[in-house]
A and B are shown apart, each in its own frame.
Chain A
Amino acid sequence: MTPVQYRRADSASDAIRLAGTAGHRLLGGGTNLVDLMRKGVERPDTLVDVTGLPGAIEEAADGSIVIGAGARNSAIAAHPLIRSRYPMLSRAILAGASAQIRNMATAGGNLLQRTRCVYFADAAGSRCNKRAPGSGCDAIGGFTRYHAILGASPACIATHPSDMAVALAALDARVHVAGADGARALPLTDFHRLPGDRPDLETELAPGEVIVAIELPPSRLAPRSDYRKVRDRASYAFALVSVAAGLVIEDGRISEARIALGGVAHKPWRAWRAEAALQGEAPNEAAFVAAAEAELAGAEPRPGNMFKVTLAKRTLAAVLSGLCEDQA
């Protein structure tokens, strides 16, 4: 690991100032960044520890819940407001990593974690357009089990690894960021980018901007919502496919559907097409299968991950069915 300086940010403005300095990287739980530094993928010269910044989970006047960027994943998952109003989010967080990692990892860091593409991680021996723009992509034609089937590009087929962010995408979360030019908020679904020809640019965060909070708007999804993660072992593995979904059913029709997929794209994949297909439909198997088909119609799998198209469709349809099973 390259020698590195360590500093603590005492305030948000401190963090903003330091984040804009060349060679500086913000350090949350370090559960991903430090690994990547050991592998020589990330080479910051200064780490700015932002875990001292607010991590409170509070209800705003309009009923939204605001999660400070420094909140630990385990604290979010266990919080009574989250568990009662956004159980899908609790489940998503608890489906990820291990208890020890969740105790360290922060909300802001979770959104900014890097792909677990093994070619991205292999700085010594593999080409990667995300790590070294323009060098090529060794994942294409290689091991693609954990790679994208939606929204990928000839430059990059990596996936975003977060579970939490998939639930946040389905819950219409907003990301509050602040920089030297002031603060702004954007929908989580617009926060991460698709790879295009610049897979090294992963979010809409401008240089010097930092995440200060995640806002969850009031939601009616809680009674019928779930997060299901499909993976290669029962715990401590990234998603092959995951589904975050919530439905509101009124008068026998679906009046609201919120769905996002994980493990399939460079960003948490909001399933707009499936949602549109379900709007106003009767909640039955045929409608769920049709919605899944609609969402995956544009899938472009590769050798090694062809199965994920079927897996995503089946898992999505099964989760939606499950949401309608236990209640009249």
Chain B
Amino acid sequence: MSRVQNVLVGTVRSALGWVPAQWLPGGTPDPLIGRRGEVGRQAARLDGDVKVQGQARFSAEVPLENLCYAALVHGTITRGRITRLDTAKAEAAEGVLLVVTHRNMPRVSGPSLIAITDPTAVGNSSLPILQDDKVHYNGQVVAAVVAETQEQADHAASLIEIDYAAEPAETRFEEAKSGARIIPSLLIERNHLSLGKAERELTRAPHKVDNLYRTQWQNHNAIELHALTVAWGGETLTVHDTTQMIASEAATLAKMFGLKREDVRVLSPFVGGGFGGKGFWDHQVVAVAAARMVGRPLRLQLTREGVYRIVGGRSATEQRVALGADNEGRFTALIHNGYSVMPPYGACPEAYTLGTRSAYRAKSFEILQRHIDMAVVPNTFMRAPGEAIGTFALESAVDELAHELAMDPIELRLRNLPEKHPITGAPFSQHAAAKSWADGAAHFGWERRSATPGARRKGEWRIGMGCGSGSFPYVRMPGAAVRLTIRRDGTATLACSAQEMGMGTSTVLAQQVADRLGVPLDAVVIETGDSDLPAAPMAGGSGQSVSIAGALLAASEKLPAELLRLAGNDSPLAGLRAGEIRLGQEGMASAADPSRHETFRSILARANRDEVSVSATGTPPLEMMKFAMHSTAAMFCELRVSDVTGEIRVDRLLGSFDCGTILNPRTAASQFRGGMIMGLGLALTEETWLDERSGRIMNPTLADYHIPAHLDVPDIEVMWTGIPDPRSPLGARGIGEIGITGVAAAVANAVFNATGKRVRDLPITLDKLL
């Protein structure tokens, strides 16, 4: 995230502007686009059976001989130093094997912080882990206990006595704002963006809105707790972890513990929910070190409280959005700036303005994020970091402007939809936001909305409708690798270190392999979850499936040459070159004369080979640099607000998506719905209580931190344009995160429509409506 990076990205972009599109990845649309096959069908999850039977083995369930258990001790001051650390009682407690503190922890340097420039970097925090007596935030790990049983470890952890010398710490958002800094870039985008004179245009605009929006701290609450089971074998290390970054975690552990990369194996066949929280945090390092010290296999599972204490969540923000418009509603000024938290030891810039940059056309733009330092567990990536809360501010402002213009808010959006990227001028690869709005509005019954707030009521309940745009960029990560193996028994195996977090990754990969090769779905084997396999990218940025799809495309392009070598002169394919071959019908054929076809089995049998295997890495994702590639969503909400209590009951939600090809409607619908439910939490219930007097999180439990309960979740409908993106593998763009975006605005706008009250401060709790 440096200035150098800005220059590099800018240079690549302008250079690619001159390169013909057909030379780039996606220049020739993927031949599978639009073909009827397994992709696009409602295939059931491959992992469904084992999961419902309880047979799927998660990282805290791996049985190992001679296993011991660890428990962490969390500090209770926010900044300062440990002055006394008495472990005697803990060490004497029954079953205790080891107490780890900064005094005996092996010297390890902190992991490299996650960065776009280094795909092996996984760190969410650059702070030293048990390396000294310093405390940097409330809840930091200050000791660990290893014992024969979990109960013994937990008990002994409570016997460690610690005194601290506390030092002043910045724990108040408002006060910290004065020390805000400006970082040069947000992920791969330049931070500060100024086009025209937005403040001046705003002053002149006949219609304008200019308001502050606030969002609260949030924490990760995947049902599966963070856990790892570690086994050392001399200088080799095996880690069963629940992680979104298998390959890069293996690389990082090797570096930190002085091992060869090939001597570290990270296994993660199933992740019980990730959402950005299942990254690399202090507990992995402590567990690996402790297992080596104690010389036994070891398990460390965080408590729910532990997840709150040492795994960061979403930063609180204060955002200003100002919109100026002419009398026809055309935007003349779009200003989006504000504050979020990123401690100097953190990695996540919470890029809430990214979505704004491609959302609307405007005569002028002024966009800038400021980052403030607070003494907190470093905030991290949490489902649609940035967009989830950025769309709340922007799309509330659009609704406010529509009200001021007395214009339908959908009409106002349609009038300002861009034909090309509004800032860079790059062409959209595919963009059908207008269609998703039209389809969504028709299906939702938007015409039944009353433009006058507070006009509909039933008993004590006021009824309202609202909408908001969601967005998420296309991300194909560089360096995704796969191995594709075809066997004489007719099966095809795709192997890579992909992360299956419950969203259907392996299912969708199997569908792709079936179509690429023309083999039946049940002949496809997917091997994932293992760092010994070719390295898949981390599961992030909604980019895993499409990144692997790119690598699979590359592998399937290499396959004909390998098979032709084996086919020999007795094959109907004899004499053909690889470029003249098409894969299909469980084999391959001449593109010009499909009757010249031979099956994989036949080729392998004649060559007396059991299998043929190709490895490939996806092409560099240059299409992202040449084209503006964005998914959009139109979110609709109908809800009731009690006149008596201010309680909100959401009755209907609808998401209408434009995300390219939908690879599997069943798993996609589940992803969209899950995202929208998380959006309801953001809108209505979720809030980490960070006590600003102490810097301590006060509600680290599922009872006190309110994620939506079943009764809070209404009927949710999802629909999509399904229009393929001609520049991406399979025409697909990611879908994992866009579901949460736009929801909070749709809810807030519906609350305004119901009550006439504009709430600009999430979550919208009932006290704000009394």
Residues of A that sit less than 8 Å from B by CB? 1-3, 40, 116, 118-119, 121-122, 124-126, 138, 141-143, 230, 232-237, 240, 307, 310-311, 314-315, 318
Residues of A close to B685: CB separation below 8 A: 232-233
Residue from A124, A142, A235, A310 within 8 A of B693 (CB atoms)? A142
Residue from A118, A124, A125, A315 within 8 A of B645 (CB atoms)? A315
From 643 to 689 in chain B, residues with beta carbon under 8 angstroms from any chain A beta carbon are: 644-647, 649, 684-685, 689
Residue from A118, A235, A240, A307 within 8 A of B698 (CB atoms)? A118
Residue from A2, A307, A315 within 8 A of B155 (CB atoms)? A2
B656 to chain A, nearest CB (A): 26
Instruction: Give the distance in Å from the alpha carbon of A307 to the alpha carbon of B460 in the complex.
Output: 19
Is B610's beta carbon under 8 Å from chain A?
Answer: no
Top 10 closest pairs, chain A to chain B, by CB:
A234-B711, A307-B767, A125-B76, A235-B711, A318-B644, A118-B698, A235-B709, A230-B645, A234-B712, A236-B709
Residues of B close to A237: CB separation below 8 A: 706, 709
Instruction: Give the distance in Å from the alpha carbon of A124 to the alpha carbon of B710 in the complex.
Output: 32
Instruction: Give the distance in Å from the alpha carbon of A19 to the alpha carbon of B212 in the complex.
Output: 57
Residues of A close to B167: CB separation below 8 A: none
Residue from A118, A230, A310, A318 within 8 A of B699 (CB atoms)? A118
Residues of B close to A314: CB separation below 8 A: 644-645, 770
Instruction: Give the distance in Å from the alpha carbon of A230 to the alpha carbon of B644 in the complex.
Output: 10
Is B132's beta carbon under 8 Å from chain A?
Answer: no
Give 21 A-B contacts (CB < 8 Å), ordered by A residue.
A1-B151, A2-B158, A3-B94, A40-B158, A118-B698, A119-B698, A124-B74, A124-B76, A125-B76, A125-B138, A138-B693, A142-B693, A230-B645, A232-B766, A233-B685, A237-B709, A240-B766, A307-B766, A307-B770, A314-B770, A315-B645
Residue from A141, A142, A230 within 8 A of B647 (CB atoms)? A230
- Pairwise interchain contact A118-B704, C-beta atoms closer than 8 A: yes
In the complex, residue of chain A having the shortest beta-carbon distance to the beta carbon of B649: A234
Residues of A close to B766: CB separation below 8 A: 230, 232, 240, 307, 311
With A230-B645, A311-B767, A314-B644 known as contacts, the answer to whether A143 contacts B689 (CB < 8 A) is: yes
From 700 to 722 in chain B, residues with beta carbon under 8 angstroms from any chain A beta carbon are: 701, 703-704, 706, 708-712
In the complex, residue of chain A having the shortest beta-carbon distance to the beta carbon of B681: A233
Residue from B151, B698, B701, B710 within 8 A of A142 (CB atoms)? B698
- Pairwise interchain contact A233-B709, C-beta atoms closer than 8 A: yes
B309 to chain A, nearest CB (A): 10
Residue from B155, B649, B684, B698 within 8 A of A143 (CB atoms)? B698
A5 to chain B, nearest CB (A): 14
B262 to chain A, nearest CB (A): 41
Could you mark each residue 150-177 of chain B with 1 if its beta carbon is under 8 Å from any beta carbon of chain A, else 0? 0100110010000000000000000000
Is B696's beta carbon under 8 Å from chain A?
Answer: yes
Is B599's beta carbon under 8 Å from chain A?
Answer: no
- Pairwise interchain contact A116-B712, C-beta atoms closer than 8 A: no
Residue from A1, A126, A143, A232 within 8 A of B154 (CB atoms)? A1
Residues of B close to A124: CB separation below 8 A: 74, 76
Instruction: Give the distance in Å from the alpha carbon of A307 to the alpha carbon of B94 in the complex.
Output: 50
A sample of 12 more A-B contacts (CB under 8 A), given A118-B704, A141-B693, A230-B645, is: A1-B155, A40-B158, A118-B698, A119-B698, A125-B138, A126-B698, A234-B712, A236-B709, A237-B709, A307-B770, A311-B767, A314-B644
In the complex, residue of chain A having the shortest beta-carbon distance to the beta carbon of B139: A125
Instruction: Give the distance in Å from the alpha carbon of A311 to the alpha carbon of B769 in the complex.
Output: 11
Instruction: Give the distance in Å from the alpha carbon of A138 to the alpha carbon of B644 in the complex.
Output: 31
With A118-B699, A142-B693 known as contacts, the answer to whether A235 contacts B706 (CB < 8 A) is: no
Residues of B close to A125: CB separation below 8 A: 76, 138, 694, 696
In the complex, residue of chain A having the shortest beta-carbon distance to the beta carbon of B706: A233
In the complex, residue of chain A having the shortest beta-carbon distance to the beta carbon of B159: A2
From 731 to 770 in chain B, residues with beta carbon under 8 angstroms from any chain A beta carbon are: 765-767, 770
Residue from B158, B712, B770 within 8 A of A233 (CB atoms)? B712
Is chain A's interface secondary structure helix, strand, loop, or mixed overall?
loop
In the complex, residue of chain B having the shortest beta-carbon distance to the beta carbon of A118: B698
From 189 to 246 in chain B, residues with beta carbon under 8 angstroms from any chain A beta carbon are: none
Is B489's beta carbon under 8 Å from chain A?
Answer: no
Instruction: Give the distance in Å from the alpha carbon of A126 to the alpha carbon of B691 in the complex.
Output: 11
With A2-B158, A142-B698 known as contacts, the answer to whether A234 contacts B693 (CB < 8 A) is: no
With A237-B706, A318-B644 known as contacts, the answer to whether A118 contacts B689 (CB < 8 A) is: yes
Residues of B close to A141: CB separation below 8 A: 693
Residues of A close to B699: CB separation below 8 A: 118, 143
Instruction: Give the distance in Å from the alpha carbon of A277 to the alpha carbon of B285 in the complex.
Output: 65
A269 to chain B, nearest CB (A): 18
Residues of B close to A310: CB separation below 8 A: 770
With A3-B155, A311-B767 known as contacts, the answer to whether A235 contacts B76 (CB < 8 A) is: no
In the complex, residue of chain B having the shortest beta-carbon distance to the beta carbon of A146: B704
Residues of A close to B767: CB separation below 8 A: 307, 311
Residues of A close to B158: CB separation below 8 A: 2, 40
A44 to chain B, nearest CB (A): 14
Most buried by A among B94, B649, B710, B770: B770
Instruction: Give the distance in Å from the alpha carbon of A118 to the alpha carbon of B699 in the complex.
Output: 7
From 72 to 103 in chain B, residues with beta carbon under 8 angstroms from any chain A beta carbon are: 74, 76, 94
Residues of A close to B709: CB separation below 8 A: 233-237
With A1-B154, A318-B460 known as contacts, the answer to whether A232 contacts B770 (CB < 8 A) is: no
Instruction: Give the distance in Å from the alpha carbon of A50 to the alpha carbon of B710 in the complex.
Output: 33
Instruction: Give the distance in Å from the alpha carbon of A116 to the alpha carbon of B702 in the complex.
Output: 13
Instruction: Give the distance in Å from the alpha carbon of A122 to the alpha carbon of B94 in the complex.
Output: 26
B409 to chain A, nearest CB (A): 27
Residue from B94, B689, B703, B708 within 8 A of A116 (CB atoms)? B703
Residues of B close to A138: CB separation below 8 A: 691, 693-694
Residues of B close to A2: CB separation below 8 A: 155, 158
From 445 to 470 in chain B, residues with beta carbon under 8 angstroms from any chain A beta carbon are: 460
Residues of A close to B703: CB separation below 8 A: 116, 236
- Pairwise interchain contact B704-A116, C-beta atoms closer than 8 A: yes
Instruction: Give the distance in Å from the alpha carbon of A141 to the alpha carbon of B691 in the complex.
Output: 10
Residues of A close to B94: CB separation below 8 A: 3
- Pairwise interchain contact A142-B704, C-beta atoms closer than 8 A: no
Instruction: Give the distance in Å from the alpha carbon of A138 to the alpha carbon of B645 in the complex.
Output: 28
Instruction: Give the distance in Å from the alpha carbon of A236 to the alpha carbon of B711 in the complex.
Output: 9
Residues of A close to B74: CB separation below 8 A: 124
Residues of A close to B708: CB separation below 8 A: 233
In the complex, residue of chain A having the shortest beta-carbon distance to the beta carbon of B767: A307
Most buried by B among A3, A119, A125: A125
Instruction: Give the distance in Å from the alpha carbon of A143 to the alpha carbon of B767 in the complex.
Output: 14
A291 to chain B, nearest CB (A): 15
Instruction: Give the distance in Å from the alpha carbon of A230 to the alpha carbon of B704 in the complex.
Output: 15
- Pairwise interchain contact B645-A143, C-beta atoms closer than 8 A: no
B377 to chain A, nearest CB (A): 14
B312 to chain A, nearest CB (A): 18
In the complex, residue of chain B having the shortest beta-carbon distance to the beta carbon of A234: B711
Instruction: Give the distance in Å from the alpha carbon of A138 to the alpha carbon of B698 in the complex.
Output: 11
Residues of A close to B770: CB separation below 8 A: 307, 310-311, 314
Could you mark each residue 176-195 of chain B with 1 if its beta carbon is under 8 Å from any beta carbon of chain A, else 0? 00000000000000000000
A40 to chain B, nearest CB (A): 6
Residues of B close to A235: CB separation below 8 A: 709-712
A75 to chain B, nearest CB (A): 23
Instruction: Give the distance in Å from the alpha carbon of A119 to the alpha carbon of B691 in the complex.
Output: 11
In the complex, residue of chain A having the shortest beta-carbon distance to the beta carbon of B765: A232
Instruction: Give the distance in Å from the alpha carbon of A40 to the alpha carbon of B710 in the complex.
Output: 31
B69 to chain A, nearest CB (A): 13
A191 to chain B, nearest CB (A): 25
Residues of A close to B711: CB separation below 8 A: 233-235
Residues of B close to A234: CB separation below 8 A: 649, 709, 711-712
B681 to chain A, nearest CB (A): 9
Instruction: Give the distance in Å from the alpha carbon of A314 to the alpha carbon of B711 in the complex.
Output: 23
- Pairwise interchain contact B644-A315, C-beta atoms closer than 8 A: yes
In the complex, residue of chain A having the shortest beta-carbon distance to the beta carbon of B702: A236
Instruction: Give the distance in Å from the alpha carbon of A40 to the alpha carbon of B770 in the complex.
Output: 38
Instruction: Give the distance in Å from the alpha carbon of A40 to the alpha carbon of B698 in the complex.
Output: 15
Instruction: Give the distance in Å from the alpha carbon of A307 to the alpha carbon of B76 in the complex.
Output: 31
Residues of B close to A315: CB separation below 8 A: 644-645
